[in-house]
Amino acid sequence: MRYLPLTPADRANMLSVIGAKSIDDLFIDVPGVAQIRDPFDLPRHAGEMEVERELAALAAMNRPAGSGPFFCGAGAYKHHIPATVDHVIQRSEFLTSYTPYQPEIAQGTLQVLFEFQTQVAALTGLDVANASMYDGSTACAEAVMMAQRVTRRNKAVLSGGLHPHYAAVTQTIASAESMEITRLAAAIDAEAAVIASIDTDTACVVVQTPNAFGTVTDVSKIAEAAHAAGALLIVVTTEAVSFGLLKSPGEMGADIAVAEGQSIGVGLSYGGPYIGLFACKEKYVRQMPGRLCGETLDAEGRRGFVLTLSTREQHIRRDKATSNICTNSGLCALAFTIHLSLLGERGLKSLAALNHSRARELRDALAAVPGVEILTPRFFNEFAVRLPANAIETVEALVGRGIIAGVPYSRLAPEAGMDDVLLVAATETTTEADIAALVAALKGRTGQ
């Protein structure tokens, strides 16, 4: 057993130091009824080769994004990750360290988090950001709960453009705290419809840009309406690369911005681990959930970083904490910040511009397919199309031709009655050949 250093001789020697006759003496507090004697009906230990064989066989049954024409988005995006990123995050000192509770010997992690927080604040156009959340969807739910604490009001309005999973997570979590959630019907281009639902009980409105249909919206007017009623504006973004091209949430008046950061540095990994970005105005910082890293000095007056404002947190405040969060998504934050440092402002803007350009190419190509209608009026790198047939069936049929055509909206929200709507995304990884293959396959499907 290659992960266990003790030898039988070590064990015997250690038992004698302890003064125990056998290992069973150390489990004496376990009631007899709970002591398992029979072996489990599970395999015995295995060598590296055997484990690799089983997992490689399972991996081979999946169709990775990079293995052919691929157009899925809907909250997770296929982007190129520089080789440096994956190399650095596998360094022992980052990979195998714990939450930086002892700052004197965790300055690597802490300085990275401080840099990360600064980058996220800059991207979102807000004052402060935390050290990350589990993912975008949980960040969204936590933002709604935070708005309840800030405003002491109980109602949240979710736009019809909010990613259906995000809306579901927020409903699940916030309703457990007796919040009243108003979720507007799915709509491609109607973020501003939330305005009509704002009243004096409204803690926050939640809008998304680019939204679940890819639609990009200037939310300034929504911010004005929310603020006039004493409510907060929460802006959600699921494609973080869009920050390189579009006006930031802060610039448009958001009080809290949350985002899925997977697009920058983090692999697709079938949905996780990802990284939630969370930023807000400085005046709300003490109501923020999650870990925060702050600057301070050591005993010799040198700059250093520590986890701070922990009086908000569960390990100090217990049942009075702002959230029950203990871990963040540290290693994904590291991947995010390395990729973003490599990009820099110039690289991020170029990457975003390239994504938008590819999506325009895809749009023009699909618009020329008979029976396909482009539904999204303004988009970044993803948009919705209406197909002449059921989207789930079309996607399934195209799998057989080696193409992953996109995400049927009805997979996310079967109740929306949008069975013919397909979400398609293009990124810098999309090639002209990929687009041509999709167009040809769709033309084949529609019999044209």
Partner 1 sequence: MSMNSVGRPTRPDQQSPGVGGSLTGARGLLQDEALIFELGGWDKTGVDLEAPKFDASDLGGLVRSAPIGLPGLSEPEAMRHYVRLSQKNHAIDLALYPLGSCTMKHNPRLNEKMARLAGFGDLHPLTPVSASQGALALMDRLAHWLKTLTAMPAVAMSPKAGAHGELCGLLCIKAAHEAKGQGHRRTVLVPTSAHGTNPATAAFVGYSVTEIAQTQDGRVDLADLEAKLSEDVAAIMVTNPNTCGLFERDIVEIARLTHEVGAYFYCDGANFNAIVGRVRPGDLGVDAMHINLHKTFSTPHGGGGPGAGPVVLSAALAPFAPAPWVVSGPNGFDLIESPEGEAVQGFGRMVAFQGQMGMFVRAYAYMLSHGADGLRQVAEDAVLNANYIKARLSKVMTPAFPEGPCMHEALFDDHWLEGTGITTLDFAKAMIDEGFHPMTMYFPLVVHGAMLIEPTETESKLELDRFCDALIALANAAKGGDVERFTGAPYLAPLRRLDETQAARKPKLTWKPVSQTPLAAE
Taking CB under 8 A as the criterion, which residues in 389-448 touch partner 1?
A: 395-396, 399, 404, 407, 411-415, 428
319-338: contacts with partner 1 (CB under 8 A): 319-321, 323-332, 334, 338
Spatial contact of 254 and 235, defined as CB atoms under 8 Å apart: yes
Tokens of 177: 């705290």
| Angle of helix 164-176 versus helix 136-151 axis, rounded to 10 | 40
Give the contact letters, 208-247, x = binds to partner 1 (CB under 8 A), - = no: --------xxx------------------------xxxxx
How many CB atoms within 10 Å of residue 149?
17
In whole angstroms, what is the distance from residue 104 CA to residue 101 CA?
A: 9
DSSP 156: E
- Write down the least CB distance from residue 213 to partner 1, Å: 15
Of residues 370 and 444, the one with the C-beta less far from partner 1: 444
Tokens of 161: 């453009």
Q: Which stretch binds partner 1 (CB under 8 A): 10-18, 149-157, 188-196, 365-373?
A: 10-18
SS3 sequence of 193-242 = HHHHHCCCCEEEEEEECCCCCCECCCCHHHHHHHHHCCCEEEEEECCHHH
In whole angstroms, what is the distance from residue 188 CA to residue 423 CA?
A: 11
92-151: contacts with partner 1 (CB under 8 A): 92-109, 111-112, 114-115, 117-119, 121-123, 127-129, 131-132, 134-138
- Write down the least CB distance from residue 232 to partner 1, Å: 13
DSSP helix/strand/coil, 408: strand
- With CB under 8 A as the contact rule, the residue among 291, 387, 421, 427 that binds partner 1 is 291
21-80: contacts with partner 1 (CB under 8 A): 23, 25-31, 33-36, 39-46, 48, 50-52, 54-67, 70, 72, 74-76, 78
Residue 32 CB-density burial (10 A; 0-12 exposed, 13-18 middle, 19+ buried): exposed
Tokens of 373: 């209608």
Helix (H) or strand (E) run with residue 374 in it: strand 373-374
- Write down the least CB distance from residue 93 to partner 1, Å: 4
- Write down the least CB distance from residue 125 to partner 1, Å: 8
174-193: contacts with partner 1 (CB under 8 A): 175-178
- Write down the least CB distance from residue 172 to partner 1, Å: 3
Of residues 184 and 412, the one with the C-beta less far from partner 1: 412
In whole angstroms, what is the distance from residue 59 CA to residue 80 CA?
A: 20
Of residues 30 and 370, the one with the C-beta less far from partner 1: 30
Spatial contact of 375 and 383, defined as CB atoms under 8 Å apart: yes
Of residues 118 and 197, the one with the C-beta less far from partner 1: 118
Q: Which stretch binds partner 1 (CB under 8 A): 161-169, 182-190, 200-208, 438-446?
A: 161-169
243-272: contacts with partner 1 (CB under 8 A): 243-248, 251, 260, 267-272
349-388: contacts with partner 1 (CB under 8 A): 349-351, 353-354, 356-358, 360-361, 378
